[in-house]
Structures are given as C-alpha cells and as structure tokens.
Chains A and B, each alone.
Chain A
Amino acid sequence: MPVVVFLALKFLREYRAQTALTVGAVAVGVSVMIFLSALIDGLQRSLIDRTLGTQAHVLVRPMEERARPLLDERVPTARHVEQPAQRSRPIAEWQRVDRWIAGDEEVVATAPTVTGSGFATRGNANRPVIVIGVDPNRFEQVIPVGTKMLRGAYRLDGAETVIGRGLSTNLGVDVGDRVRIETPEGADALLTIRGVFELGNQQVDERWVLVPLRTGQMLLGLPGGSNAIHVKVRRVFEADRVAARVVDQTGLVADSWMQQNAQLLIGLRSQSSSSYTIQFFVFLAVAIGIASVLVVSVVQRTREIGILRAMGTPRRRIAAIFILQGGIVGFIGSLFGAALGGLLSFAFAALSRNPDGTATFPIDLTLRLVLTATLLATVTGVLAAVLPARQAGRLEPAEAIRHV
C-alpha cells in the first residue's frame, strides 16, 4: 500500500468524530445537488417531452409569399404595399428536400405532410380543424400518436381518419362513426374514424384530423405535394442548428421547437441557473468546511508532521497525505450523499402524485448525475485540501517537532 494512502487513512481514522462530521457535510451537499438536479432535470424533461410530444423538433415549410414594390425602395415616393394572404403552396421538389434533410447526421426521422385548415362536420356540429395528411408510419416516428391512442387504432387507409379526444367529444363521434371534412379549397371528404388519440395538448386534441397523405393532398388542393416536413433530431437542443442548416441549404423556412417555445426555454434556463447557483454555494460551503477541518488537523498533527519530515519524508508527500484526506472525505461523503439524494428524490416523487398516479414532480435520477456529483465532491475535497496541504508541507521539521 502506498505510504501516503496508509497515513491518510490512519489520520482520518484517529479523529473519527471529526472525520464523520466532515463526511456528513459533504454528504448533505451532494444530496442537495443530486436532489435538486434530479428534480429540476425531471421537471424540465417532463415539460420538454410534453411540448415535443405534439410538435416536430423542426418544421420545414415553403417561404411565405411577399409583395415587393417595383420601384427602387431608395426612390422617395408615397406607397402602400399590400401583403398577400398566404396560400397553401407545396415545397418545390419536396422529395429531394426530404432526402437531403434525412441525410443530416443529427436527424433521426422526417415526415413530409400536407397541412391546412378545414371544417369537420357531423350532423349539426361543426368545428374548425387542422387537416394533416400523413404517411402514418413516418409521422409516428416524429410525433408518436400511435402510442397515445385512447380508442381504436392508429391506422389510415383511404377514407379513414384519426382524431383527437377533444374533437371526438365536441362532435359527439367515436370510432367507426363518419365525419365530413371540408376545406377552403372547396374539397370535401367523408371519412371513417379509425381511432381517437389524446396527446395531452388541448389545441391538438380538439383540432387535429390526421388523414392519409393522398387524401390530405386532395383536400388541400396539393396533389402530389407536401407543404410541411416534420423533422425529429437526435438531441433536442440541436434543433436550432439543424433548422439553420436547412435554411442555408434549401432557402425554405425552418422553425425549430426552440424558436417556437422561446419563453419556455428562457424559463428552463433561468431554472437551471438558479439551481446551479444554489449548488455552487452549497459546494463552496462544503469546501470551506473540509478546508477548516484539515487546517485544524494540520495544527493537531504538527509534531507528527515534524517527525515524518525529520525521518526524511519529502514536503510533497506530506502535502499529498492531506490532499488525499480531502479527496477521501469528498469521495466517501459523495457516496453517502448519492444514497441520501437518491432516497430523497424517490421519496419526494412517491409522496406527491397526480390523480392518475403519475408523479407530480418527475425525478430524473441518472447514473451520469450520480457520477458527476461524486466526481465534483471528490474534486472539491481535493481542492479544499490544497491550502492545508501546503501549510503542512511548509512546516520546518525542527520547529514542528518542538510544537506542543
């Protein structure tokens, strides 16, 4: 066994109460970090999952039509440029664009669709809806409607549709019933409801009408076309970059979920910043605690340090004994802290439940978080020990031996 490790362990064991208190302080700090992070990460993940459960990470659509003045804008003249109403237009060469987007290394799946507004009618009931013509398998890979089916099946063949729960209630229809869809383009279709989904977003559940791509193209007057490509990316926070690449390469409009939910992101970032600030000060307090105990320990052991130095122990090895003590205290404290933090997190999640049995505060406790906390606490212990270690290493043997 290295003599440094041997002495560090011996020294820690000699003053057990002192060591236990320091380990306890680290454990509390680590448990706070793990609990806070697990809670905030869980909340954020839940929020993002809910947001992205009904939304593509990136939505690619054609450029908006703009009216441009014929006169040079620099020529001073009184004018009023009337902006046109936006028509439903297809993406030019959408298959090629779709292939190009799918080839991006960050992109997991793409789903070309036709999307437009319409009305759903059943008897006297009439509701405005968003008609989305999809290839069900590809759309499922971007927005998992199939996993959120309440009734019926996620199946779209010919004159079939899948609608949200809200629309089903508003129209008083259910699986097997028929509903008429009309669009401003003057087309209509009588569709059989194959399934009812609930994505948990009121707007979506009350307005989405999923139809086969070909039916959608017919209803929206875009035969063979697509006016929106839904994109799913590997890492959700890379969506902005993927959207920027699409805009650069295709000249189309690409909105990331981050642009569309800017306020949510600001909220999440503020939440993370608050959490990091709290964790920083907790760890600072832990570091000061460890350093204080080790400074006292150096004073308590001055004579022993003097003896070791007199016997020929080099300064750096004396310093290493104290650095190691800081590291050991940090590491052992972090193990207890991880256990305590995990226990707290699960207890908190178990005690606060929604009526449907899901956790009010979802906890995202990962191995990565535990390992990060352990590493951080160990490094904090080592850094906290630097000052006392230098103090120990600087002791002159002749003076240290005479220390009372």
Chain B
Amino acid sequence: MSEPADDEVILSLRGVTKSFGKEVVTEVLHGIDLELRRGELAALIGPSGSGKSTLLNLIGLLDRPTTGTIHLAGRDATGADDETLSLLRAETLGFVFQFHHLIGSLTALENLLMPLSIRGGWIDDAQRERAQRALESVGLGKRSGARPSELSGGQQQRVAIARALVHEPALVLADEPTGNLDTATADDIFAVLRGENRDKRRTILVVTHDPRLAARCDRIITMIDGRIASDVAAPAGAAPTVH
C-alpha cells in the first residue's frame, strides 16, 4: 500500500443510518456524514444513548449500516462480505477498548503478535522483534512476558494501545481508553496516543465521556439522538460540556 497523502481522507461516511428490529424498526443513527483526514485526533462525545457506540461499531466495520456508504482508507466497505471486512479491519484499523480486552491466555508480547500475524496466518521472529519494539515504545519492554493479570490497569491499557498501533493501521479507534483509569494514568495513556498522532500522523478517533480528554483532541464531534450535533475544532484549553 502506498504512503497516504497528508490530507488524504482516511474515513468517509455518507448518509449512514442504522436501524434495529424487524417488526418494530428503531432508527438509532440518522444520516451521518463524517470525514476523518490523515493525522487528525478527533474526540467523539455525547450522552449515553446518543449513538456513539453504534457509530463506532460501523466505523470499526464490526457492524453494517442500514443505508449509506462507508469508505475506509480509500476502499468501499459498504457492500463487502465478511471475509473482506475482516481483511480491511486487519489492515487498516486498530482498536483500543475501555477495559483493555487483552487476551488473558497470552503474554503482553503475544497479544501484540495477533494483529501482526492475522494477514499471513504465521508468527515469525521478525514479528516478535516488531512486537517487542512496540512494547518498548509504551515503556513496557521489560514486561513482554507478563500475562495481563500480572499487569496494572495502566500497564494493561498501554499494552492494548501498543497492540492497536503495532501493525501501523490507518485509523485507530479508542473506545473510552481512559475510562477506568485514575487521572494521572489517564493522562499518561492519552500522552501515548497523542505522541503516536503527532509523531506518525496517525489518525485517531477517541470516544469519550471525559471532557478533559476531549478538549485535548484537535476536533470534537458531538452526537445527540443519533445525529452529529456539532463537529468543531477543539478550542485550546476549553473543555466542552457533555450531557
């Protein structure tokens, strides 16, 4: 894959809706239009039930829109079959979940091997070296052999971030990445994301309830009742109110 241009659109949603139910149809997302460009660090905020998680699932290709189109890294994901969507996720997306969601039976290093080995189906020494370097970049080079249960909450989330970044995806989706961490650790974790965004112009979308965190992003997308209510650049030093 060629190196994307600086202003390349990484994610594009056009007229996306999402409905649930067969007899009683409930539309939870209404005509979403959204674009994310390379190097953006955007926050997706909104009250509970506003449709953030549903939208994140659609952007993460974990679910399909009822109508509308989704393009990711220049590829149309709208009508793709499950196999193609899996491949697209493996190549273009990195996920950071609120509760880290590391695989408990694997060590920190082995967790990082998963996204690296998905495409080829093999684990080799080069991948192990790459995973080790990724762990070192989040300050956990010496804990590569530790199981998730042997790590603190902050360390687990660092491993989760390293896992989301190790295969250098076009877009990183972070769902409440600091949601269960204390303030100091949350700052620490955000610093890792911000560093990756600044140093490698990695596009990152953070779903958060934390106004402090949102205010430190470049752009704040606010959702209310299944619609994008506002999409603005974050004013320096400002912390928007989240309902």
A180 within 8 A of partner (CB): no
B76 within 8 A of partner (CB): no
Residues of A within 8 A of B90 (CB): 311-313
A308 within 8 A of partner (CB): yes
Establish whether residues B62 and A3, one from each chain, have CB atoms under 8 Å apart when the complex forms: no
A2 within 8 A of partner (CB): yes
Establish whether residues A312 and B87, one from each chain, have CB atoms under 8 Å apart when the complex forms: yes
Residues of A within 8 A of B102 (CB): 307
Residues of A within 8 A of B7 (CB): none
Establish whether residues B122 and A312, one from each chain, have CB atoms under 8 Å apart when the complex forms: no
CA distance A86 to B106 in the complex (A): 85
Interface SS, B side: mixed
A266 within 8 A of partner (CB): no
A230 within 8 A of partner (CB): no
Closest Cβ–Cβ distance, residue A184 to chain B (whole Å): 84
Residues of A within 8 A of B138 (CB): none
Closest Cβ–Cβ distance, residue A119 to chain B (whole Å): 84
Residues of B within 8 A of A309 (CB): 86
Q: Find A10's partner among B60, B62, B106, B118 (CB 8 Å cutoff).
A: B106
- Contact stretch, chosen from B109-117, B195-203, B230-238: B109-117
Residues of B within 8 A of A4 (CB): 121
A317 within 8 A of partner (CB): yes
- Contact stretch, chosen from B41-49, B93-101, B150-158, B179-187: B93-101
CA distance A386 to B126 in the complex (A): 33
| A312-B110 contact, Cβ under 8 Å, with A2-B121, A4-B121 | no
| A401-B97 contact, Cβ under 8 Å, with A3-B122, A311-B115, A311-B118 | yes
Q: Which residues of A100-125 have CB atoms within 8 Å of chain B's CB atoms?
A: none
A176 within 8 A of partner (CB): no
Q: Which residues of B192-236 have CB atoms within 8 Å of chain A's CB atoms?
A: none
Establish whether residues B95 and A317, one from each chain, have CB atoms under 8 Å apart when the complex forms: no
What number of B residues sit within 8 Å (CB to CB) of A?
31
B40 within 8 A of partner (CB): no
Q: Find A307's partner among B82, B86, B103 (CB 8 Å cutoff).
A: B103
Contact with A along B22-63 (1 / 0, CB 8 A): 000000000000000000000000000000000001001011
Residues of A within 8 A of B119 (CB): 312
Closest Cβ–Cβ distance, residue B49 to chain A (whole Å): 15
Establish whether residues B104 and A304, one from each chain, have CB atoms under 8 Å apart when the complex forms: yes
Residues of B within 8 A of A308 (CB): 103, 114
Cβ-closest chain B residue relative to A318: B86
Residues of B within 8 A of A172 (CB): none
Establish whether residues A14 and B123, one from each chain, have CB atoms under 8 Å apart when the complex forms: no
CA distance A316 to B133 in the complex (A): 30
Establish whether residues B105 and A14, one from each chain, have CB atoms under 8 Å apart when the complex forms: yes
Give the size category of A's interface with B. Answer: 20 to 34
| A398-B57 contact, Cβ under 8 Å, with A10-B106, A310-B95, A313-B86 | yes
Q: Find A1's partner among B88, B95, B123 (CB 8 Å cutoff).
A: B123
CA distance A3 to B127 in the complex (A): 12
Q: Which residues of A308-343 have CB atoms within 8 Å of chain B's CB atoms?
A: 308-315, 317
Q: Find B82's partner among A11, A311, A315 (CB 8 Å cutoff).
A: A315
Residues of A within 8 A of B110 (CB): 6, 10
Closest Cβ–Cβ distance, residue A154 to chain B (whole Å): 67
Q: Which residues of A271-307 have CB atoms within 8 Å of chain B's CB atoms?
A: 303-304, 306-307
Establish whether residues A311 and B114, one from each chain, have CB atoms under 8 Å apart when the complex forms: yes
Establish whether residues A310 and B118, one from each chain, have CB atoms under 8 Å apart when the complex forms: no
Residues of B within 8 A of A398 (CB): 57, 60, 62-63
Q: Find A314's partner among B83, B97, B113 (CB 8 Å cutoff).
A: B83
Establish whether residues A307 and B63, one from each chain, have CB atoms under 8 Å apart when the complex forms: no
| A315-B86 contact, Cβ under 8 Å, with A3-B122, A398-B57, A398-B62 | yes
Cβ-closest chain B residue relative to A1: B123
Closest Cβ–Cβ distance, residue B112 to chain A (whole Å): 11
A66 within 8 A of partner (CB): no
CA distance A312 to B95 in the complex (A): 11
A221 within 8 A of partner (CB): no
Residues of A within 8 A of B57 (CB): 398
Closest Cβ–Cβ distance, residue A28 to chain B (whole Å): 27
Cβ-closest chain A residue relative to B103: A304
Closest 3 interchain pairs by CB? Answer: A312-B90, A312-B89, A14-B105
CB pairs A–B below 8 angstroms (30 shown) = A1-B122, A1-B123, A3-B117, A3-B118, A3-B121, A6-B110, A6-B123, A10-B105, A10-B106, A10-B110, A14-B104, A304-B104, A304-B105, A307-B95, A307-B103, A308-B103, A309-B86, A310-B62, A311-B89, A311-B118, A312-B87, A312-B88, A312-B93, A312-B115, A313-B114, A314-B82, A317-B121, A396-B63, A398-B57, A398-B63
